[in-house]
């Protein structure tokens, strides 16, 4: 009998996730992907962990059209994408942040032109807590005080105890999970939440987004961040706001309107010579990703799809 409440919470959490994704609708202006002839070969993708599942799903969907195409995907973190693109070990560089000037410099030094960024999906970078955590939502200044030692958002005190935010959890330590520095999510969170401040040394650096979510789910006092696509029933994505009185849910609509503070594009970087088309295989893959089919996959994986205007073709058929 003691199991009932747990089961209820589980069902509620599932219901919530379903609700969140049910609201997402595909832009009808997105083009349908049509198969072309003569596409085969190998495609390597090295980069973002946030995009890892998505890349795998796209690769599967793409392979349905072209059985002769072999796609290999490695997702250790966005920072591994530029070196691989530069060395030529990959043709696709998925990244959950934009390339830094230093990385662009290194690319340009080798090829003489800049790499091309292609938007592939929208992500609401989410702050997760354990599903039984009573906190309603967090202001970014509070999040900053939990994760950062520099507290650039100006919250008055350091937060290491949940009691500062939810009085009934007085004495419960905040256990902070984050990503390793190779991660674009690490960088994006640092730039936008910490205002480029520094992480505390006590943030447990996990090698992947799922490890972060798992860590948070296994610990009552846990908190961590990752792409919204990694949400599980053991954790809850918090509404966020600039301060605790202006909370916004991480929904598609809020992301599009720029209300959710941690909305971002996910990119795939490619090596495109100016005034020349991409190699056929890469070109077709990108066309698939930005098509109706490709963006359906995005919804399936828990991220948000692009609007037609955001794609390379800008919605023109």
Partner 1 sequence: MPDADPNRFVTARSTLLVDRFMTYFIKVGGLAIIAAVFAIFVFILLEILPLFRQAKVDAIGERHGPAAASLAFGVDEWGELPFTLTPDGTFHFLPATGEATTFHLPLTNTETVTAADYDQTQQVVSVGTSNGRVLQTKIAFTNTPREDGTKDVTAIPEVTGEFPLGEQGKPITSISFGESAEAKLLAVLQEGRVQASAFTVTRTMMGTSKVEKLWAKDFTNLLPGPPERLLVDEKAEHIVAVDAEGRVTVLEANEDGVEVFQPAFQPFADLPDKRIASIDYLFGDVSLVFTAPTGENRIFSLYIHKDLQKRQYGQTKELPKLEAGATAFVHSVRNKSFLLADNKEVSLRFATAATVRWQGQVDYPVRQATISGKYNRIFLLDDRGTVHDFSLDDKHPESGFAAFFGKVWYEGGDKPEYSWQSSGANDDFEPKLSLVPLIAGTLKGTFFAMLFAMPIALLGAVYTSEFMAPRLKVYVKPTIEVMASLPSVVLGFLAALWLAPLIEEKVPSVLACVVGLPASAILFGWFWTSLPDHLRSRIRPGYEFIAYLPVMLLTLVVCWELGGPLERLLFAGDFRTWWPKATGAAFEQRNSLVVGFMMGFAVIPIIFTIVEDALTNVPKDLRSGSLALGASRWQTAMRVVVPTASAGILSALMIGLGRAIGETMIVVMATGNTAVMDLNIFNGMRTLSANIAVELPEAPHGGTLYRALFLGAMLLFLMTFVVNTIAEVMRQHLREKYKTV
CB of 1 to partner 1, least distance (A): 25
Count the neighbouring beta carbons within 10 Å of the beta carbon of residue 48: 31
Q: Which of residues 105-134 bind partner 1 (CB under 8 A)?
A: 105-106, 112-113, 122
**204 belongs to the binding site for partner 1 (CB under 8 A):** yes
Which residue among 35, 87, 243, 280 contacts partner 1 (CB under 8 A)? 87
* Part of the chain binding partner 1 (CB under 8 A), chosen from 8-16, 62-70, 190-198, 225-233: 190-198
CB-count exposure of residue 68 (10 Å: 0-12, 13-18, 19+)? exposed
Q: Are 89 and 47 in contact (CB under 8 A)?
A: no
* Part of the chain binding partner 1 (CB under 8 A), chosen from 14-22, 54-62, 100-108, 293-301: 100-108
Q: Which is it for the CA torsion 135, 136, 138, 143, positive or negative?
A: positive
CB of 99 to partner 1, least distance (A): 9
**187 belongs to the binding site for partner 1 (CB under 8 A):** yes
Q: Are 219 and 175 in contact (CB under 8 A)?
A: yes
**27 belongs to the binding site for partner 1 (CB under 8 A):** no
Phi-psi region of 195 (alpha: psi -120 to 50; beta: other; left: phi over 0): left
Which residue among 42, 60, 309, 316 contacts partner 1 (CB under 8 A)? 309
The 139-178 contact track toward partner 1, x by CB under 8 A, reads: ----------xxxx-x-xx-------------xxx-x---
Give the residue with the Cβ less far from partner 1, 203 or 289.
Answer: 203
Q: Which of residues 244-283 bind partner 1 (CB under 8 A)?
A: 255-258, 263, 265
| Chain contacts with partner 1 (rule: CB under 8 A) | 76-80, 82-83, 86-87, 97, 100-103, 105-106, 112-113, 122, 149-152, 154, 156-157, 171-173, 175, 180-182, 184, 186-188, 190-191, 195-199, 201-207, 218-219, 255-258, 263, 265, 307, 309-310
């Amino acid at each position: 009998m003691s199991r009932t409440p747990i089961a209820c919470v589980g069902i509620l959490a599932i219901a919530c996730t379903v609700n969140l994704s049910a609201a997402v609708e595909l832009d009808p202006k997105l083009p349908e992907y049509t198969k072309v002839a003569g596409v085969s070969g190998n495609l390597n993708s090295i980069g973002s962990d946030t995009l890892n599942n998505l890349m795998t799903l796209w690769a599967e969907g793409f392979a349905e059209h072209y059985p002769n195409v072999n796609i290999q995907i490695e997702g250790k973190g966005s920072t591994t994408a530029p070196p691989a693109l530069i060395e030529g070990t990959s043709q696709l560089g998925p990244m959950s942040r934009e390339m830094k000037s230093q990385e662009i410099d290194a690319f340009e030094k080798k090829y003489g032109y800049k790499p091309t960024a292609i938007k592939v999906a929208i992500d609401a970078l989410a702050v997760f807590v354990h599903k039984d955590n009573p906190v309603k939502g967090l202001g970014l200044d509070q999040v900053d005080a939990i994760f950062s030692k520099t507290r650039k958002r100006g919250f008055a005190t350091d937060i290491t105890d949940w009691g500062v935010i939810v009085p009934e959890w007085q004495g419960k330590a905040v256990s902070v999970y984050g990503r390793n520095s190779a991660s674009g999510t690490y960088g994006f969170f640092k730039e936008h939440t910490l205002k480029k401040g520094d992480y505390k040394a006590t943030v447990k650096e996990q090698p992947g987004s799922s490890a972060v979510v798992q860590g948070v789910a296994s610990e009552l006092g846990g908190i961590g961040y990752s792409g919204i696509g990694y949400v599980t029933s053991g954790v809850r994505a918090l509404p966020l706001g600039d301060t605790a009185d202006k909370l916004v849910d991480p929904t598609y609509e809020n992301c599009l309107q720029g209300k959710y503070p941690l909305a971002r594009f996910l990119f795939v970087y490619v090596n495109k010579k100016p005034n020349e088309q991409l190699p056929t295989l890469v070109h077709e893959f990108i066309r698939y990703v930005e098509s109706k089919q490709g963006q359906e996959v995005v919804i399936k994986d828990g991220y948000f799809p692009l609007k037609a205007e955001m794609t390379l073709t800008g919605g023109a058929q």
